Structures are given as structure tokens and as C-alpha cells.
Amino acid sequence: MHSREMEHLHQHGWLRVSDVVSQETLAEMLAAAKRLEVQFPLGFTHNDNYSDRTIVPRTAPPKPTEFATNHIYPNVGFLEPVLLAPLANPAIHEFIESVVGRDYYLSNTWMQCVPTGTGRMWFHKDPRGSVSFTFLLDSIGPRSGSTCVVPGTQLNTPPADFCLNDINQAHPDEVELRGEPGDIVFFAPEAWHGRAVNASGQTTRRLFFNFYSRSSKASTSWAKGVSEEQVEKVKATLPEKTHRMFELDPVLTARLQTDAFTSGELRVGAKSHDRVLADITHALRTYGKSSGHPKHPGYLLPYTTRLTEHQNFSIIQYLRQIRPVATLKTWFRPLSKKLPQFQNRQRYKT
């Protein structure tokens, strides 16, 4: 990766990279994705961030009111190891390290198939301390169900719920993460992001990869649903120096966390992506300062990334983005007992 590319991600919250795998490897990945679609045409049931302890093939299409109305294949790299082939490219790891430090988990991996006619996914932020990328399996153009990001919102912005009167609607500044098969698009999960409508007339597919700083997360989304044999099979396909991202170490994570923050500070950091007061408190503690762990060189502070090291936090700028109507909707939403939370939020529109 060139420094200008890393600067683009740090500044705008996203970055497209091409030619990460060879054409031969891309063909093998496309064949593997097709095998999964033929064997499991509707994907799998999924809970808890597109994963679960036991994934079960779907027997009926998702309903419009479900958490996700597309077809999800959790733990996809462990079902078809060739789908993790991009992780053999050292430039990918160089970039990941530039955001979350040298030691991280592969926190999550899944394939998403977005049928034509699928509506938008709401704007939101993910917990701090991670970086993600998508690997495109199809040519994805405008309004084709791609991930969409509002550039610059990874820094100094409240949760989207407090700023947008309707988090389901397109944002005038959003960028759809489009491209051709084989392209990778990195994005900062701390930016406002969602998914565009798919009005393209065809299903579009992409792989997702998420990586957490080891100080921010003690485990992974796939740990309880993947066998040790599957993990070893995947590791055998990748360079040895990458194996660390598959090896869980909750004891180390606990040490990194307790040596950095009090338990109260940790709770604030964990909630800083969706609670305004926690977000402000955590930002004041971390913005404009080194994200390096003071007691463990090479590791980062919990719930931080290097995106904030050279950015000052402005409470005035932050609060100016908050909208009264959006805030009232967010505050009163939990009071409703008539509908499940995902229906209250109307996160998906079809």
C-alpha cells in the first residue's frame, strides 16, 4: 500500500484497491461462491452480527421484517477456504495494521448475496477498534446493493441515529462502494455506513472481512461455530505469519484492557459508537493522542484505532450535527413495547 492510499482511508473512511488476487485465484473464488449458492440457495439463519454458534440452512426466503433481508453465509471462509485467499496478500495486512495495530483477530467473515429489489440497510456505526473490507464477487454499479459510506463520518461525528431524521434514506454525500470482481474496498466501521438499494435487476454478491484489535475484543464472531479442524485447514492455505489472527487469546485481551482503562472506562469505550455521552467521553480521552498501549508496545488502547491519532476532538463541531427530531426518535424508541426492536427502527424498507 502507498502512503497516499492509507491517507485516503484515514481521511475519507474508505478506499478501493484492485488486483489483490490473481485472475486464476479469482476464478477459484467465484467457483467456490457458486458451490455455496447451489448447495444453500437461501443462505443460513443468522443472529448476533451475521453469525451464530450453530448456523442452519434457510428453508424459506427472509421476510421483509427480518434483521437482514438478504442471503447471508456466515463463517464463509471456513466453509470454502479459498474465499480467504485475499488474506495471503501482505499488502492487505500492512493496511490493517495501519488502522488497528500489529496484533488483531479475523473477527468476522461472511458472504452476502443481495437479491434484486432488496431495500436499503440503515445507517449506523460499529463498535470502535476495527477495520473492514469487502471483496466484490460481481460487477457492482450504482443502486446495486453495495455498502455505502458517508465520507469523513468516522471522525468527530455522533451516532447516525442522532443526526439523521431517517436513517433508512440515502445521504446526499454517501459513496457506494462499487467496483469490479476482485476489487477490495476497505472502510472504517466507525463511519456512518449502510447498504444501498438493489435496483439493478440482478443479485449481487460480495465477501465481508472484519478485523478487531486484540485489545478491543476477546473473541471472534466465528469462534463458537467453527471446528478446530476447519481452522487448521484454513491456516494451511495461508502464510504462517498470518495464523495469529485465528488464535484466540482472551487472557491477553483482559490484560490489555485492565492495564489501560478502569472497568467503567471500558464500558464507556464499548458503547461509544451508539451513545452520545459515552462517545464524547471516549473521544476526549483518545482523540489527538497516541493510540499505542502505554504498557504493551505494539498494541493499541482498547476501542481505539489510529484514525483518531492526528485529529482533535471538537465538542462544538460534534454537537452541531445532532438534530432534535432524530434525537427524540432515538430516545423514545425503546419505550415502545408493541413491536420488536428491528421493526421499531424500520431498519429495512422494501
Does the structure show a pLDDT above 60 at 6?
yes
Can you give the pLDDT at residue 341?
A: 41
Q: Which pLDDT tens digit goes with each residue over 140-163? A: 999 999 999 999 999 999 999 999
Average pLDDT rounded to a whole number, residues 103-123 = 93
Can you give the pLDDT at residue 111?
A: 96
Chain centroid, CA 212 distance in Å: 10
| Cα distance from N-terminal residue to C-terminal residue, the chain | 39
| Domain positions in the chain | 3-251
Chain centroid, CA 308 distance in Å: 18
C-beta separation of 173 from 17 below 8 A: no
* Cα 208 to Cα 186: distance, rounded to the nearest angstrom: 10
Bridge partners, 207 (sequence order): 111, 135
Q: Which pLDDT tens digit goes with each residue over 262-298? A: 999 999 999 999 999 999 999 999 999 999 999 999 8
Q: Which pLDDT tens digit goes with each residue over 18-34? A: 999 999 999 999 999 99
Instruction: Give the architecture-level CATH label for domain 3-251.
Output: Sandwich (2.60)
Radius of gyration of the chain (CA): 19
311 φ/ψ angles, rounded to the nearest 5 degrees: -120, 130
Q: Which pLDDT tens digit goes with each residue over 81-104? A: 999 999 999 999 999 999 999 899
- Those residues whose C-beta lies under 8 Å from the C-beta of residue 169, and which sit 6 or more positions away, are 120
Q: Which three cell numbers stand for residue 349?
A: 424498507
C-beta separation of 152 from 129 below 8 A: no
